Chain A
Amino acid sequence: MSSDQAVRGTDDDAASMRISAVNQGYLKDTFAPIFHPPSTPSAAAGPSSPRKPPLINIGTHHRTYAIDLLIDRFFTSCGDAGGQVVSLGAGSDTRYFRYMERPHPPHIRKYIEVDFAASTAHKIKQITGSPRRLPFLVHRNITPDIELRSSASSHPDAANASPTSLISPIYTLLPLDLRHASPKELNDLLLPYLDTKVPTLFLAECVFCYLPPKINETLIKCFGQTFEKCSGIIYEMLGSRDSFGQVMRRNLASRNLDIPGADPFPDLSSESKRFTDPALGEGAFSASGAKSLWDIRKSVIDKEELSRIGKLEMLDEIEELKLVLSHYVIAWGSKGEGMDALHL
């Protein structure tokens, strides 16, 4: 089983990869520097070193591009009434802020990020410590009404404990350890802030892979049962049993990381059916699919964009890129009227 610290540490990797992609011109993200350097002390492995190899920058670009595209399609299908987003294990993700910085942001009724209390506490410090970004918590130019809360605790210092929740009219940051969350706990946490009749998207970027498969099934089912119109996006590595997969597991193990959540999905076919799995019962979705980052590179990303990023760095070989990108997938599912436009 992964160590706590090791899993939280994966957000350091994500943050430093984001910064590297931004610095090299692959992505535009004015918020990434606020959430980097990361919370947990970097291992000497150097995940916080600024410049990543071209292969990594490309993968970071493709994943961000494709998930943004899916989310845009979600909001298009929501129409004027808008939609809600729940981002599980969001860590240092900047998506909400990037979206709100657009000249015409989508109609986001609610954007909830959920993560370990230690992570949300840290993110709150970074947000509140950067006053020029606060307007984006509601909408540009509007002074936000923000409430900060600490976790309930019988510890004598509870009153001085760092806040682990941030509640504002749209953006909401809530603490939850997903490994131990029951459907009731999840609903108790989220439902005060969500309207079950409003189309809702949940996002799980490299989080389900670290959780036991049963928990992931429970979480997907919970969303499927609670919201009339619901979509889900999952991004993670395949639990391949080929030599790449075996080497990956060994390498991750040396970082105290385990990927039990990826094991039931060794290939694209299994990932593409996970939302419609009959085992989800009433929580099953009606449409689902998946594409690898390599498929996305070949058939989803706009040719001009590919050409643009192709000029940023010299990629000396394609075989390794194909091998690695083929082992990462984005899977999507949707249910409810009008939601099935969500796909790549």
Chain B
Amino acid sequence: MAPFDLDACIDKVRDKQLLGEALIREICEKTKEVLMRESNVIHIASPVTVVGDIHGQFHDLVEIFRIGGSAPNTNYLFLGDYVDRGLHSVETISLLTCLKLRYPERIQLIRGNHESRAVTQTYGFYLECTRKYGSPAVWQAFTDMFDYLTLSVVVDDAIFCVHGGLSPSIHHIDQVKIIDRFREIPHEGPMADLVWSDPDPEKEDFAISPRGAGYTFGASIVKKFLNLNGMNHVLRAHQLCMEGYSILYDDQLSTVWSAPNYCYRCGNMASILEVSPGGKRYFNVFEAAPENERDGPNQQQPAKAIEYFL
């Protein structure tokens, strides 16, 4: 294929235009080459702005760049769950993939539990791809690329960032490094735990998760993990926060959630976390972007129902 103009692609996707299927496949191939070289634990330095679940809410992603600053002027760390649930998963993951390819050192993409073939077939990404492209080819290209996404990032050797949470199989981060991540997310085991687990303030230890995958874990687990690894904070996403974020365990763990008015129904706030040198952490809270009113469920062809029990 002829060399393509990545900057032109980025402009196009930012404008919410779809890229052609062949171009998507090429971009995914090239991005895999970049991702392949990354460790399961990437070490980066602040300043960095950390983003939680986006779930296909493209207009809110654009809002995030407005609030947090454009790449590459701002460094970004995305904690996964780019697709499913929202209306524009394709545009969302297309933009993030292009940005990663364009600025690999400025943008980090972690894998979430929705970056999975099984989950995307239940929660909307597969359907959206087939509707917008007429075939599953684009879904295949993206889900193949998901297999290459890293599992964790450490900021300033102090903040352990992962999509879900901790694992009973992982005490030291060296154990994360030896995971073979280049595959579909398994149903169980350390890789599944990292993307599926949740903190539970009512428990001290690990317990079975009501989600059916991963575990819940308590304060003492976090404390032990941080001590053993010489770090001071666990930062994750994965759970809806009505206020946009939540802080637990004496500020040893926090959750950042970046999809405002989730599913156009939950009425929640969202946030991005700005980490500055010196360990400063600031949750920048925001509401749903006004563009959602003009390009929301009712404006799609055909209009998409916001489901309530009626």
Which of B19-27, B69-77, B128-136, B299-307 binds A? B299-307
By beta carbon, the residue of chain A nearest B310 is: A10
Q: What's the Cα separation between A310 and B238 when bound, in Å?
A: 20
Q: What's the Cα separation between A212 and B192 when bound, in Å?
A: 50
Given contacts A316-B113, A316-B211, contact A237 B122 (CB under 8 A): no
Size of interface on B: residues with Cβ below 8 Å to A: 32
Given contacts A45-B303, A317-B239, A320-B240, contact A244 B210 (CB under 8 A): no
A-B contact count (CB 8 A): 92
Q: What's the Cα separation between A118 and B174 when bound, in Å?
A: 68
By beta carbon, the residue of chain B nearest A209 is: B310
- A314 lies within 8 A of B263 (CB): no
Q: What's the Cα separation between A319 and B297 when bound, in Å?
A: 22
Given contacts A316-B114, A317-B240, contact A328 B309 (CB under 8 A): yes
Q: Which of B234-273 contact A (CB under 8 A)?
A: 238-240, 242, 261-268
B56 to chain A, nearest CB (A): 14
Q: Check: A192 CB closer than 8 A to any chain B CB.
A: no
Q: Which of A228-267 contact B (CB under 8 A)?
A: 237, 242-248, 251-252, 254, 257
- A46 lies within 8 A of B266 (CB): no
- A315 lies within 8 A of B240 (CB): no
- A313 lies within 8 A of B310 (CB): no
Q: Which of B96-144 contact A (CB under 8 A)?
A: 113-114, 118-119, 122-123
- B210 lies within 8 A of A318 (CB): yes
A25 to chain B, nearest CB (A): 15
Q: What's the Cα separation between A319 and B309 when bound, in Å?
A: 17
For B212, what are the chain A residues with a Cβ–Cβ distance below 8 Å? 310, 314-315
By beta carbon, the residue of chain A nearest B239 is: A319
Q: Check: B298 CB closer than 8 A to any chain A CB.
A: yes
- A46 lies within 8 A of B211 (CB): no
- A45 lies within 8 A of B240 (CB): no
Which residue in A47, A55, A243, A310 is a CB contact (below 8 Å) of B305?
A47
- Using a CB–CB cutoff of 8 Å, the interface residues on chain B facing chain A are 113-114, 118-119, 122-123, 210-212, 238-240, 242, 261-268, 297-298, 302-310
Pairs across A and B, CB under 8 Å, 18 listed? A13-B310, A46-B302, A53-B123, A56-B307, A242-B267, A244-B265, A244-B266, A246-B267, A247-B265, A251-B265, A251-B306, A251-B308, A257-B310, A313-B122, A315-B211, A316-B123, A316-B211, A319-B240
The list of the 10 closest CB pairs from A to B, nearest first, reads: A243-B267, A10-B310, A319-B240, A247-B267, A45-B305, A44-B302, A13-B310, A244-B267, A251-B306, A45-B303
- Using a CB–CB cutoff of 8 Å, the interface residues on chain A facing chain B are 10, 13-14, 17, 43-47, 52-56, 59-60, 63, 206, 237, 242-248, 251-252, 254, 257, 310, 313-320, 323-324, 328
